[in-house]
Amino acid sequence: MDYPLSIILPAKNEAGNLGPVLAQLAARFP
């Protein structure tokens, strides 16, 4: 699952509850 930051960042802003989930997703990126 490759999501550009342009999609991840707005999604994080609109759904703050996904913050921890996105943080773990970001941790998977090298």
The domain ranges of the chain are 1-30
Look at residue 25 in the predicted model and tell me its pLDDT. 80
Contact 20, 12 (CB under 8 A): no
- Residues 1-30 have pLDDT tens digits of 566 666 666 655 555 566 777 778 888 876
Contacts of 8 (CB under 8 A, 6+ apart): 22, 25, 26
Look at residue 15 in the predicted model and tell me its pLDDT. 53
